[in-house]
Amino acid sequence: MGLLTRTFTPELVHQAVEEAGAWEERTKALPSTLMVYFTLAM
């Protein structure tokens, strides 16, 4: 996870999620940024 966060900075991930319009709609959902890192790790 450390390598992913160094390679893909949180600012870059926030920008990508914002451009895609993929912010979570529910307050109990996992944060969108966490899901981006999870997808990259797979």
Predicted confidence (pLDDT) at residue 34 exceeds the cutoff of 80: yes
Sorted by sequence, the CB contacts under 8 Å of residue 24 that are 6+ apart come out as 30, 31, 32
The whole domain housing 32 covers: 2-41
Q: In the structure, what pLDDT confidence band is assigned to residue 24 with cuts at 50, 70 and 90?
A: confident
Mean pLDDT across the chain = 85
Q: What is the pTM of this model?
A: 0.63
Question: How many domains are there within the chain?
Answer: 1
